[in-house]
Chains A and B, each alone.
Chain A
Amino acid sequence: MAVFSFLDREHTIARPGYSRWLVPPAALAIHLAIGQVYAFSVFKIPLSQLVGISKPGPGDWKQSQIAWIFSLAIIMLGLSAALFGKWLEGAGPRRAMFASAVCFSLGFFISYFGVVWHQLWIIFLGYGVIGGIGLGLGYISPVSTLIRWFPDRPGLATGMAIMGFGGGAMIGSPLAVNLMAYFRRPDHLGVGPTFLVMGLLYFVFMMYGVFTVRVPPADWRPEGWMPSVKRSAMVTTRQMDVSTAFKTPQFWLLWVVLCTNVTAGIGIIEQASPMIQDLFKGSIGPVAAGGFVGLLSLFNMGGRFFWSSVSDYIGRKATYFIFFALGAILYFCLPLTGGTHLNSVALFVATSVVLLSMYGGGFATIPAYLKDMFGSYHVSAIHGRLLTAWSTAGILGPVLVNYTREYQLAHGVDRAGAYQTVLRIMAGLLLVGFASNFVLRPVDEKHWEESKAPTQKAA
């Protein structure tokens, strides 16, 4: 339709003199909005008391049923990123960001009716399925654009955007809590109006990204910057299409790298609050544990920017070696900081925040690693397919943590002791990631010959 022609890629090509520093805020507008998904837990209790108001009443949904809303959204994030990545490369970032904004906001609006009519399946469809598609499209939409604007610092560029996803939960949580408090009445909890307002606010905020994002002209490069003649063998100057990249062992080794790093991080996130209380029984209560969780989210976000920026200087492979080697040592030692050994809360907190910074760093550095391996031509689409590793880790992490812990407790291990086994399994997983990163080599010549991407050298 002509009315939507402003979304076309050719209408987003930057005019001469357009500053590339206007592009990261556009990407951040999308990621700060969709990062709200990690704050969805603030709706869990209100959604479980829509009938009873002050406590769950007859006909109210169980929390285990409500948990599926978030799970569906994350599953759809992975699926849509994998399915629509190739479309995005052709359609351009503006169209993808617009589609993301429409889906994400529509998810809230549809969910409003789910609350009003008290039909959970409507919220599954709204926030879970349609909103989840918005998450996947939004997550990958700015990646290749940023990499093309920042060929000299791809890690820094993607780190800025993916940091926004970590920051989104920090905005979404207090926003939802304040809105629900504002709209609350004696006969309802204010969840419905909160969904409507959040859908509207996020749509407007994401539109800022839609209208300001620009792609660089084909021959653009940063002023004074020349591609280094002395390139690492691990950084290609060629381009590969997503279908060919998907068939290479390098794609699957990076898949394992992301999956193990995320699974291990979930090992801490999943049990952060009970773990600090169990390891320091009597010293740390639920309120302080809540503060610990907040501190973890800050380092999760900061690590995304810090580590991806560092990777521009030391290389992607070396960065992941740090994640896996240091991570394995820290996971192994973490139980030793507890009450029955060193009994140091400060050491426990310090170790945990470093681990969480590397969890976030793993997310933010992977797009630049993909660019190094396969070029920037289809990097968003390749990144989209790689995000299935995240979806897998989202299932694997909690299953490993919860089942191992339950098994240990059922066999007489004390609560503090059960963490030791879980954390050592996480350390072992990181060693698998280390091995995967270690065997990673440049893509074989035969795959470059198969590639349908343009053969020109990367900027």
Chain B
Amino acid sequence: MTESSKSSAVVILLAWIFVGIPLSWGIYNTVRNSMKLFQNPTPPAHALVVRSGEVLRS
């Protein structure tokens, strides 16, 4: 026996969409969370110190 293409392509697509939607939602949330690594980085400690004027050289 061999595989034939009797299963409808639409059914296969719907099956993947059914599991793909929650997975994509999860990935979207995680990517959004991951972006925090690249956004608004905390300035280096020495920069904070220099900006505050408490210590000019560290």
Contact = CB atoms under 8 A, between A and B. Distances in A.
A174 B42 contact: no
A29 B4 CA distance: 24
B30 interface: yes
Contact of A221 (B2, B25, B46): B2
A442 interface: no
A223 interface: yes
Best-surrounded residue of A20, A21, A208, A217 (most CB of chain B within 10 A): A21
A283 B36 contact: no
B35 A212 contact: no
B18 A208 contact: yes
B46 A223 contact: no
B52 interface: no
Contact of B3 (A28, A222, A288): A222
B56 interface: no
A91 to B, nearest CB: 24
Contact of A18 (B6, B22, B23, B35): B6
Interface string A363-396: 0000000000000000000000000000000000
Contacts of A168: 26
A171 B4 contact: no
Contact residues of A: prevailing secondary structure: helix
B48 A282 contact: yes
A167 B16 CA distance: 15
Interface string A149-177: 00000000000000010011111111000
A297 B27 CA distance: 10
Contact of B19 (A21, A32, A283, A284): A32
Given A282-B45, A282-B48, A222 B2 contact: yes
Interface string B15-58: 11011001101110111011111111111111010000000000
Contacts of B40: 287-288
A205 B46 CA distance: 52
Contact of A174 (B1, B7, B26): B26
Contacts of B12: 19, 21-22
A174 B18 contact: no
Contacts of A21: 7, 12, 15-16
B48 to A, nearest CB: 7
A3 B39 CA distance: 56
A212 B27 contact: no
B45 A291 contact: no
Interface in A198-249: 205, 208, 212, 217, 219-224
A289 B36 CA distance: 8
Given A283-B44, A290-B36, A291-B36, A28 B26 contact: no
B27 A298 contact: yes
B33 A291 contact: yes
A412 interface: no
Contacts of A349: 37
Contact of B46 (A28, A172, A219, A282): A282
B19 A20 contact: no
A367 B34 CA distance: 30
Contact of A291 (B5, B35, B42): B35
A90 interface: no
Given A16-B6, A18-B6, A291-B34, A170 B42 contact: no
A223 B6 CA distance: 13
Nearest to A343: B44
A25 interface: yes
A291 B38 CA distance: 8
Nearest to B11: A22
A186 interface: no
Given A164-B23, A171-B25, A291-B35, A212 B15 contact: yes
Contacts of B46: 282
Interface in A290-318: 290-292, 294-295, 297-298, 301
Given A22-B12, A220-B3, 20 more contacts: A17-B4, A20-B3, A25-B15, A25-B18, A169-B26, A170-B26, A171-B23, A173-B29, A221-B3, A223-B4, A282-B44, A282-B46, A283-B43, A283-B45, A288-B37, A288-B39, A288-B41, A291-B34, A294-B34, A295-B34
Q: Which 10 A-B pairs give the minimum distances between C-beta atoms? A: A17-B6, A282-B45, A170-B26, A291-B37, A291-B36, A19-B7, A171-B26, A294-B33, A294-B34, A285-B42
12 contacts: A26-B15, A28-B19, A32-B23, A167-B26, A170-B23, A171-B22, A220-B1, A283-B42, A284-B41, A291-B35, A294-B30, A294-B36
